[in-house]
Amino acid sequence: MSICSSNWSAGFIPREPADRHDESSYPGIHPALPVSGSALSGHLDLRCELRADGVPVIARQSFRAPIHLSKSHVDEGRLVQSIVNPTAGFFDGDRLEMNVEVGGGAKLVLSTPSASRVYRTRSGGSAVCVQHFRVEGNAMLEWIPEPFIPHAGASYVQRTRIDLEPSASLLYFDWISPGRVAMGEVFAYQRLRWELDLTLGGRLIARERYDLAPGNESLEALRVKFPAAHYLSVYAAGGMAENWPARELDALTGVGVYLGHGPLAGGVNVIRALCCDSLSARRLLETIRPLLYGAAGVKPPSLGRIFC
């Protein structure tokens, strides 16, 4: 492991050599997982730290398909890193394990350049994504992926664990779409399994477990309000939850958007929203993000993509 600490110039964070992502360089960290059939077992192991001159850098990185990292940049004191899925989506049997750490005082923004897709299961099995985020003291993590789009017949399991130290900050977005609506695929997936644990200083603050399947009542709460509802969820903690813009958030409910927000334990706040379509969800996301950053007294860092 090495710290990217030399030859830094404004806005550019030097990368490790191209073969840095070969996990064979990291004996014992990620044992080589064979590609069997058409399924992939990949990983992302990433650590962001604060360099002595106050610039956040990637201190450790290891990744393997179906995931890839694009070049990062620094904006507003935050390291912005895009995660690319070069296979364009998950197939059944694919497995991705992500381990992301933000060291003390560092600020990291993780994003994806395009929607995450899961394709129809051929075997009946699921694609699995296990992600663990750890944010240390006075550090900040923003996780803002593009929407999750489950295709017709898709089966997918996502397990997320977020561990925050007491002085850490967090902005965590989830956006689940009903499917490829333009193709007539509305809640046509087979099964989504969503799990999330959020801890603060070792204390469990939020726990989510649910299965979504069109064949039972699990989608009722989405369909009752909007027939093709998009679901947005936001967790904010630390500095991103102070000066909470409650009135401004209240005002976002309107035609096509039904939103609620409130406190969890430990000063963590949550936002839940249902949106009538993708455009409403996109507009809402593009409103909420600068709103929360603005309330925290920070300009939102550019994600280096068209949106946000």
Partner 1 sequence: MTSDPMLWLLQANDTAYPSGSYAHSFGMEELVECGVIATPADLEAFLEKQILPALLTFEIPFFARAHAASNKCDAAALLEMDEELDAWRIPHELRDASRRIGSQRLELLCQLDPSPFILAHREACPRSHHLIVTSLELAAVPLAKAARAFAFQSIAGLAAASMKLMRIGQTSCQLITRRTLVRLGEKIDSALSEPPDGWFNPLLEIASLRHARANHRLFIS
Under rule CB under 8 A, residue 80 binds partner 1: no
- Measured distance CA(111)–CA(203) in Å, rounded: 27
Under rule CB under 8 A, residue 122 binds partner 1: no
Q: Which of residues 1-40 bind partner 1 (CB under 8 A)?
A: none
Under rule CB under 8 A, residue 227 binds partner 1: no
Number of residues that bind partner 1 (CB under 8 A): 39
Under rule CB under 8 A, residue 246 binds partner 1: yes
CB of 129 to partner 1, least distance (A): 18
Under rule CB under 8 A, residue 262 binds partner 1: yes
Q: Which of residues 148-207 bind partner 1 (CB under 8 A)?
A: 194, 197-198, 203-207
Please provide the DSSP assignment of 26-75 as one string.
STTTSPPPP-BTTB-EEEEEEEEEE-TTS-EEEEEEEEETT-EE---EEE
Nearer to partner 1, 119 or 194 (CB): 194
Nearer to partner 1, 50 or 170 (CB): 170
C-alpha distances out from residue 305 to 99, 147, 239, 291, Å? 24, 14, 25, 19
CB of 119 to partner 1, least distance (A): 22
Applying CB under 8 A, which of residues 32, 35, 88, 224 lies at the interface with partner 1? 224
Amino acid code (one letter) for 267: G
Task: Kindly state the DSSP code that residue 291 receives in the 8-state scheme.
Answer: H
Under rule CB under 8 A, residue 208 binds partner 1: yes
Applying CB under 8 A, which of residues 260, 279, 302, 305 lies at the interface with partner 1? 260
Under rule CB under 8 A, residue 76 binds partner 1: no
CB of 101 to partner 1, least distance (A): 23
CB of 162 to partner 1, least distance (A): 12
- Measured distance CA(308)–CA(225) in Å, rounded: 26
Q: Which residues pair with 149 in a beta bridge?
A: 117
Q: Which residues pair with 240 in a beta bridge?
A: none
Residue partners of 177: CB distance under 8 A and separation at least 6:
115, 147, 148, 149, 150, 230, 278, 281
Applying CB under 8 A, which of residues 51, 233, 291, 304 lies at the interface with partner 1? 233
Applying CB under 8 A, which of residues 209, 227, 243, 279 lies at the interface with partner 1? 209
CB of 152 to partner 1, least distance (A): 19
Applying CB under 8 A, which of residues 122, 225, 299, 305 lies at the interface with partner 1? 225
Nearer to partner 1, 88 or 265 (CB): 265
C-alpha distances out from residue 250 to 57, 150, 255, 285, Å? 37, 30, 13, 14
Under rule CB under 8 A, residue 252 binds partner 1: no
Pairing of strands 148-150, 116-118: parallel
Query: Which has the closest alpha carbon to 47: 34, 35, 29, 24?
Result: 29
CB atoms within 10 A of CB 208: 12
Positions in the binding site for partner 1 (CB under 8 A): 194, 197-198, 203-212, 216-222, 224-225, 231, 233, 246, 250, 253, 258-265, 270, 272-274
